[in-house]
């Protein structure tokens, strides 16, 4: 081969966004920076016609549908965009997979404010001991609902997003509200 | 520098490949064309195992690999990986196939008739050695039949179903876009029906024969009767974005239905593949016939035969044993030596009795 | 809409060889693998221009992660110059334009078969291990569906029994490489055929490790700071290869995993397996200024993990 193939702008966006997402999920509690604010990078990195997506945020629907992903209800969705969340009972219907196929648990993206709000202490894989941080903008009862729904290795994985900032919370992370 | 990091690894592999290619010399369109026209059955086999229907590209793969079949199939599969999927074609209906050959061993005659078509089945396998001494082999022209055979033929199983001899599978109404696809997702067990048939369609011919033959010899519960074997061409019907349906061309396909008595009824095994490949279809249909209720770990169990007839995976794993394994070997040696040292240190009278 | 709008302008090859949909599928599975450490996630595993069993799983992960700035190192049996490592390195560079390195410390992405480098990996580095057989239970249960159910039930009794029987018969666990380990206290994982020497390097590490089996179509991960505990009985401790006192005859490096080289007189000599570390040792000995990273083992002993 004489020349190297060049990445397109979309390749570059998807690659850099995924790098942020993978690091975020590998190191819960550490904030990563996406190449663009909002969900565009996450959508470019992960979604296509092989995905079923639940989208509570109408802003995102056109972007999601352009990927060819099927728009689905929460219990069928493997990717869930909740936008700004008001009702913790939305979590009740998120797919958690099975012991046989934990990978069927959904990936859930929620808009929050990072660095303000209630203090949380995280522990689990990816965390050196414990880490303490603040997350605001989640409805009351969110953390206990998450705690009740995750039956490790069954569960769902969260990306908490604030502009271009993203934080990952895999199902393996234990969250204590301080 | 006292120590050179690259001790020739990069140069060695480049020269080794050159050595392989030097044997075959220049590859030009004429060579590719000659392979395509002279070896249609080889092309068919390679296209079927590659799950990629393009005679020119298959011929090129054969030219480029010097006829190393596993390499040719891998080359095509890897190329296939890079191609976008534009659309899922309409399902192909058995009775709409443009049929060249269709025979049944189950009945003396069948609706539509036994249609021998092109075959070497009844030829005497004698080398045309005169060719080597300068007398070309010129095939004797075919005498056309008085009446051409009908282009399409009903399926034998349909007649049997009408006579309540066999239960046909329920028509699968899955939307074409939702049909599970083994090129897009892994096969998990129990396997989806679409995955099973797709895996068999691109299975290694030799591997499928080996396991199918084991089933035929008695390692399977059901003895196959060839209900129908068909070589045909299928129209690939696709939809233009504007909505018009049109044929993108014809592809050669082969399919086999085998049956065996199962209580009051016949049970049915089925396989189909791209290209004309009778041995593979009969073997694969035999495995399909035997898979229901097969014991875990037996050659006729779905998981067993689907995994072990995947030619790209099995051939790749087989040749990977040529790669250096000295780290794992060293690790094992260490465990063995330590165990031996422990045994030597043990007083003799503590040896366990035989 | 027209037929041409369904596809993109023709180019000989996508960036990083894999098309965008293949990469997205691998990304989705990598996230799940990280979320459930040590659990094997099925993925489609496209064919790539190398034979199955030759690192196609690792390659697909590397091709997904790579970008023109990713500095890549590829090793096989610890060596950068091993023929298949050279082949994979050339392919990765050709299809991505990414720079390559032999220096562990310089690499962002390390694809490896059968070894973890001796220098400690840092938080920004990702290790991609090629995996021939992702199923640690294969030796007690060859059927993948049954083995999967055993993982779902955390039913590892037969695995323990096999280890116990080896101890009874041979006085020790006879597993060489691929020593099974419990990950995050839940899933038993094969660390790929790395020697026992390397398994403790995965425990509470700084870096992310992705393990990928292309032929068997499974991907799994060990995130940083994750417990990776070799299966051992309380009274029979885990034992790495007895290489702590060996010295490399070429570089003089001592206390690392070695290759044994048989000699005609019936004896043998040793060469350090991590070829780049050997080179650095020689350069340092010859008076060059060389940056030597901290190593997991010092004086032949693994430092105490947390």
Cα–Cα distance for residue pair A138/A142, rounded to 1 Å? 6
pLDDT digits (tens, 9 = 90+) for B282-331: 999 999 999 999 998 899 999 999 999 999 999 999 999 999 999 999 99
- What's the CA gap between B318 and B256, in Å, rounded? 30
Burial class (CB in 10 A: 0-12, 13-18, 19+), B252: buried
Measured between CA atoms, the residue of chain C closest to residue A12 is: C67
* 3-state DSSP assignment of residue C200: helix
Q: What percent of chain C has pLDDT over 90?
A: 90
Please say if the pLDDT value at position B84 is more than 90.
Answer: no
With cut-offs at 50, 70 and 90, classify the pLDDT of residue C7: low
Secondary structure class of C156 (helix, strand, coil): coil
The C-alpha of A49 sits at a distance from chain B's nearest C-alpha, in angstroms, of: 10
Q: Does the pLDDT of residue C8 top 70, yes or no?
A: no
**How would you classify residue B28: left for phi > 0, otherwise alpha for psi between -120 and 50, otherwise beta?**
beta
How many helices (H) and strands (E) are present in chain A, helices listed first? Answer: 4, 10
Phi-psi region of A46 (alpha: psi -120 to 50; beta: other; left: phi over 0): alpha
Distance from CA of B334 to the nearest CA of A (A): 32
Helix (H) or strand (E) holding C268: strand C268-272
* DSSP element (H, E) containing A70: strand A70-71
- The reply to whether B116 touches chain C by the CB within 8 Å rule is no
| DSSP conformation class of C3 | G
Buried b (16+ CB within 10 A) or exposed e, C26-60: bbbbbbbbbbbbbbbbbbbbbbbbbbbbbbbbbbb
CA angle C226, C232, C236 (to 5 degrees): 140
For residues C46-50, average pLDDT:
93
Structure confidence at residue C31 (pLDDT) = 98
Maximum Cα interatomic distance, chain B, rounded to a whole number of Å: 92
Tokens of C166: 């080896």
Chains touching B (3+ CB pairs < 8 Å): A, C
β-pairing, C41-42 vs C218-222, is: antiparallel
pLDDT at position B346: 78
End-to-end CA distance of chain A: 58
Separation between Cα atoms, residue B179 and residue B171, nearest integer Å: 13
DSSP string, A76-95: G-SEEEEEE---GGGGGGS-
Give the one of A27, A78, A153 whose C-beta lies nearest to C36's C-beta: A153
C215 closest CB neighbour out of B6, B183, B317: B317
How far apart (Å, rounded) are the C-alpha atoms in residues B327 and C199? 13
* Alpha-carbon gap: B218 to the closest alpha carbon of chain C (Å): 22
What would the pLDDT profile of A79-119 be if each residue is shown by its tens digit? 999 999 999 999 999 999 999 999 999 999 999 999 899 99
- ∠ CA(B22), CA(B28), CA(B29), 5° rounding? 150
Per the CB < 8 Å rule, is C177 touching B3? Answer: no
Residue among C24, C42, C208 minimizing CB distance to A26: C208
pLDDT in tens, B128-185: 999 999 999 999 999 998 988 899 998 899 899 999 999 988 888 888 888 999 998 9
For residue A1, which residues of chain C lie inside 8 Å, CB to CB? 12-13, 94-95
**Using CB atoms within 10 A of its CB, is residue B343 exposed (0-12), middle (13-18) or buried (19+)?**
exposed
Mean pLDDT over C15-26 rounds to 93
Beta pairing, strands A79-84 & A32-33: unpaired
pLDDT band at B242 (very low <50, low <70, confident <90, very high): confident
Instruction: Enter the pTM of the model.
Output: 0.91
Looking at residue C38, its pLDDT comes to 98
Looking at every residue in chain C, the average pLDDT score rounds to 94
Which tokens in the block code for residue A144?
A: 């206990």
Instruction: Check CB contact of C28 with chain B, cutoff 8 Å.
Output: no
Q: C36 and A29 in contact (C-beta within 8 Å)?
A: no
What is the number of other CB atoms lying within 10 angstroms of the CB of residue B326? 17
Q: Are B190 and B292 in contact (CB under 8 A)?
A: no
* Biggest CA pair distance of chain A: 59
Please give the pLDDT value at position B353: 45
DSSP A126: T
| Selection from B267, B273, B256 nearest residue B294 by Cα | B267
Answer whether residue C306 shows pLDDT above 50.
no
Q: What's the confidence (pLDDT) of residue C3?
A: 57
Write the burial class of residue B153 (CB in 10 Å: 0-12 exposed, 13-18 middle, 19+ buried).
Answer: buried
Q: Give the pLDDT confidence of C107-139 residue by residue, as tens digits.
A: 999 999 999 999 999 999 999 999 999 999 999
> Using a CB-CB distance cutoff of 8 angstroms, which residues of chain C are in contact with residue B297?
142-143
Classify burial at B19, counting beta carbons within 10 Å of its beta carbon; exposed 0-12, middle 13-18, buried 19 or more: exposed
pLDDT over 50 (residue C290): yes
pLDDT at C305: 53
C86–B10 CB contact, under 8 Å: yes
Closest-CA residue in chain A for B85?
A: A49
Tell me the pLDDT tens digit for each residue of B10-25. Answer: 888 889 999 999 999 9
Q: What mean pLDDT comes out for the span B104-128?
A: 92
Compute and round to an integer the Cα radius of gyration of chain B: 26
Identify all chain A residues contacting B88, using CB atoms and an 8 Å cutoff.
Answer: none
Q: Which of C15, C36, C149 sits opposite A100 (nearest CB)?
A: C149
Q: If you count residue pairs, one on B and one on C, with CB atoms under 8 Å apart, how many are there? A: 198
Query: What is the ipTM for the molecules in this complex?
Result: 0.98
Burial class (CB in 10 A: 0-12, 13-18, 19+), B162: exposed
Give tens-digit pLDDT for C182-207: 999 999 999 999 999 999 999 999 99
Q: Look at residue C220 and give its three-state secondary structure.
A: strand
Residues A80/A107, Cβ–Cβ less than 8 Å: yes
Q: For residue C10, what pLDDT is reported?
A: 66
Which chains contact C through at least 3 pairs of Cβ atoms less than 8 Å apart? A, B
Instruction: Give chain B as a 3 state SS string.
Output: CCCCCCCCHHHHHHHHHHHHHHHHCCCCHHHHHHHHHHCHHHHHHHHHHHCCCCHHHHHHHHHHHCCCHHHHHHHHHHHHHCCCCCCCCCCCCHHHCEEEEEECCCCCCCCCCCECCCCCCCCCCCCCHHHHHCCCCCCCCCCCCCCCCCCCCCCHHHHHHHCCCECCCCCCCCCHHHCCCCCCCCCCCCCCHHHHHHHHHCCCHHHHHHHHHHHHHHHCCCCCEEEEEEEEEEEEEEECCCCCEEEEEEEEEEEEEEEEEECCEEEEEEEEEECCCHHHHHHHHHHHHHHCCCCCCCCCCHHHHHHHCCHHHHHHHHHHCCCCCHHHHHHHHHHHHHHHHHHHHCCHHHCCCC
Question: Using CB atoms, which residue from A11, A21, A48 is nearest to C31?
Answer: A21
Q: Within the 189-248 window of chain C, which residues sit less than 8 Å (CB to CB) from chain B?
A: 193-197, 215, 217, 239, 241-243
Q: Stretch B197-204: mean pLDDT, rounded?
A: 98
> Which residue is closest to C82 within chain B, CA to CA?
B9
Q: What residues of C are in contact with residue A16 (Cβ under 8 Å)?
A: 67
Inter-chain CB proximity A125 and C24 less than 8 Å: no
How many Cβ atoms are within 10 Å of C128's Cβ, its own excluded? 26
> pLDDT class for B349, splitting at 50, 70, 90?
low
Min mean pLDDT across A54-68, C26-40, C98-112 is at A54-68
**Residue C9: predicted pLDDT:** 67
Contact, B302 vs B291, CB < 8 A? yes
From the list A22, A125, A172, the residue facing C30 with the nearest CB is A22
Q: What are the chain B neighbours of A49 within 8 Å (beta carbons)? A: 177
Cβ–Cβ under 8 Å, residues A162 and A114: yes
What gap in Å lies between CA B71 and CA C54, rounded to an integer? 13
Number of CB atoms found within 10 A of residue A132's CB:
11
Q: Please list every residue in chain A whose beta carbon sits closer than 8 Å to the beta carbon of residue C14.
A: 5
Give the position of tokens 């199983």: B157
Mean model confidence pLDDT for chain B: 91
Name the token pair of C72. Answer: 């890549």
Alpha helices per DSSP H over A27-98: 40-46, 61-66
Rounded to the nearest angstrom, the minimum Cα separation between A110 and chain B is 28
- Give the pLDDT mean for C236-257: 95
User: Which of the residues B72, B187, B335, B346 would you substitute to probe the C interface, choosing the one with the greatest number of C C-beta atoms within 10 Å?
Assistant: B335
Judging contacts by C-beta atoms under 8 Å, the chain C residues touching residue B86 are: 3, 6-7
Q: Helix, strand, or coil here: A25?
A: helix
Positive or negative: CA dihedral C263, B9, C219, C71: positive
Query: How far is it, in rounded angstroms, from Cα C54 to Cα C215?
Result: 9
The shortest C-alpha distance from C220 to chain A (Å) reads: 11
Q: Å from A84 to nearest chain C CA?
A: 23
Q: How far is C97 from A4, CA to CA, in rounded Å?
A: 5
DSSP string, A105-125: BPEEEEE-EEEEEEEEEEEST
* Chain A residues near residue B185 by CB distance under 8 angstroms: 50
Q: Which residues of A touch C11 (CB under 8 A)?
A: 5
In Å, how far is B33's CA from the nearest CA of chain C? 22
- Kindly tell me if the per-residue pLDDT of C304 is higher than 90: no
More confident residue, B243 or B41: B41
- Give residue C6's pLDDT band: very low, low, confident or very high (50, 70, 90): low
Which residues in chain C are closer than 8 Å to A14, comparing Cβ atoms?
20, 23-24, 27
**Which residue among B10, B185, B331 sits closest to C195, beta carbon to beta carbon?**
B331
In order, the DSSP letters of C105-133 are GG-SEEEEES---SBPPPTT-EEEEE-S-
């Amino acid at each position: 081969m004489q020349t190297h193939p060049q990445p397109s702008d979309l390749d570059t966006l998807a690659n850099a966004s995924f790098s942020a997402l993978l690091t975020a999920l590998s190191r819960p509690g550490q904030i990563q920076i996406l190449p663009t604010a909002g969900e565009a990078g996450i959508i470019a990195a992960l979604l296509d016609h092989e995905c079923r997506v639940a989208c509570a945020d109408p802003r995102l629907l056109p972007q999601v549908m352009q990927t060819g992903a099927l728009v689905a209800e929460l219990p069928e969705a493997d990717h869930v965009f909740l936008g700004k969340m008001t009702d913790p009972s939305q979590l009740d219907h998120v797919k958690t997979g099975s012991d046989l196929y934990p990978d069927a648990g959904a990936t859930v993206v929620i808009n929050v404010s990072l660095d303000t709000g209630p203090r949380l202490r995280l522990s689990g894989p990816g965390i050196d001991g414990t880490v303490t941080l603040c997350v605001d903008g989640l409805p009351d009862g969110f953390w206990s609902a998450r705690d009740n729904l995750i039956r490790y290795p069954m569960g769902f994985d969260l990306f908490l997003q604030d502009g271009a900032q993203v934080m990952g919370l895999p199902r393996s992370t234990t969250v204590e509200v301080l | 520098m006292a120590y050179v990091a690259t001790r020739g690894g990069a140069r060695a592999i480049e020269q080794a490949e050159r050595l392989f290619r030097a044997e075959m010399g220049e590859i030009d369109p004429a060579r590719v064309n000659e392979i395509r026209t002279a070896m249609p059955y080889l092309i068919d086999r390679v296209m079927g195992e590659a799950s990629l229907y393009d005679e020119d590209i298959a011929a090129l793969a054969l030219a480029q690999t010097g006829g190393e079949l596993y390499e040719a199939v891998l080359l095509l599969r890897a190329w296939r990986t890079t191609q976008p999927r534009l659309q899922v074609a309409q399902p192909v209906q058995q009775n709409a196939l443009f049929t060249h050959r269709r025979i049944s061993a189950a009945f003396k005659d069948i609706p539509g008739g036994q249609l021998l078509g092109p075959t070497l089945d009844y030829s005497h396998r004698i080398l045309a050695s005169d060719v080597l001494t300068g007398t070309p082999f010129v095939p004797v022209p075919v005498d056309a039949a008085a009446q051409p055979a009908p282009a399409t033929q009903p399926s034998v199983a349909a007649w049997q179903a009408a006579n309540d001899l066999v239960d046909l599978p329920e028509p699968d109404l899955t939307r074409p876009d939702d049909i599970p696809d083994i090129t897009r997702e892994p096969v998990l067990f129990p396997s989806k029906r679409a995955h099973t048939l797709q895996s068999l369609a691109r299975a290694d011919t030799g591997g499928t024969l080996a396991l199918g033959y084991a089933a035929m010899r008695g390692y399977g519960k059901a003895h196959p009767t060839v209900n129908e074997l068909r070589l045909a061409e299928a129209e690939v019907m696709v939809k233009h974005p504007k909505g018009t349906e049109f044929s993108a061309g014809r592809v050669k396909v082969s399919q086999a239905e085998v049956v065996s008595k199962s209580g009051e009824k016949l049970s049915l095994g089925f396989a189909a593949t791209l290209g004309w490949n009778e041995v593979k279809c009969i073997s694969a249909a035999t495995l399909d016939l035997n898979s229901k209720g097969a014991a875990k770990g037996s050659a006729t169990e779905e998981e067993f035969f689907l995994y072990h007839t995947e030619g790209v995976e099995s051939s790749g794993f087989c040749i990977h044993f040529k790669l250096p394994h000295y780290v794992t070997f060293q690790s094992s040696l260490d465990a063995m030596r330590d165990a031996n040292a422990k045994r030597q240190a043990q007083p003799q009278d503590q040896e366990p009795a035989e | 809409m027209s037929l041409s709008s369904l596809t993109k302008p023709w180019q000989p090859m996508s960036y990083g060889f894999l098309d965008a949909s293949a990469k997205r599928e691998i990304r989705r599975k990598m996230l799940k693998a990280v979320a459930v450490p040590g659990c094997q996630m099925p993925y489609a595993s496209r064919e790539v221009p190398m034979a199955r069993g030759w690192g196609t799983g690792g390659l697909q992960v590397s091709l997904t992660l790579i970008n023109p700035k990713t500095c890549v190192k590829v090793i096989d049996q610890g060596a950068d110059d091993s023929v298949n490592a050279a082949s994979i390195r050339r392919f990765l560079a050709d299809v991505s334009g990414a720079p390559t390195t032999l220096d562990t410390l310089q690499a962002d992405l390390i694809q490896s078969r059968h070894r973890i480098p001796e220098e400690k990996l840092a938080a920004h580095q990702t290790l991609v291990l090629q995996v021939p057989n992702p199923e640690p239970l294969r030796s007690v249960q060859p059927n993948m569906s049954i083995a999967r159910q055993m993982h779902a039930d955390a039913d590892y009794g037969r695995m323990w029994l096999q280890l116990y029987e080896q101890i009874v018969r041979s006085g020790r666990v006879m597993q060489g490489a691929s020593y099974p380990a419990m990950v995050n206290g839940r899933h038993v994982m094969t660390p790929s055929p790395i020697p026992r020497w390397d398994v403790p390097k995965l425990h509470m590490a700084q870096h992310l490790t992705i393990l990928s089996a292309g032929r068997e179509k499974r991907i799994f991960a060990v995130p940083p700071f994750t417990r990776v505990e070799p299966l051992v009985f309380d009274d029979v401790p885990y034992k790495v290869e007895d290489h702590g006192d060996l010295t490399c005859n070429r570089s003089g490096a001592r206390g690392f995993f070695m290759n044994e080289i048989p000699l005609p007189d019936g004896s043998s000599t040793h060469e350090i397996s991590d070829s780049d570390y050997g080179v650095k040792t020689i350069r340092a000995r010859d008076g060059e200024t060389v940056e030597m990273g901290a190593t997991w083992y010092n004086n032949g002993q693994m430092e105490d993990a947390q």
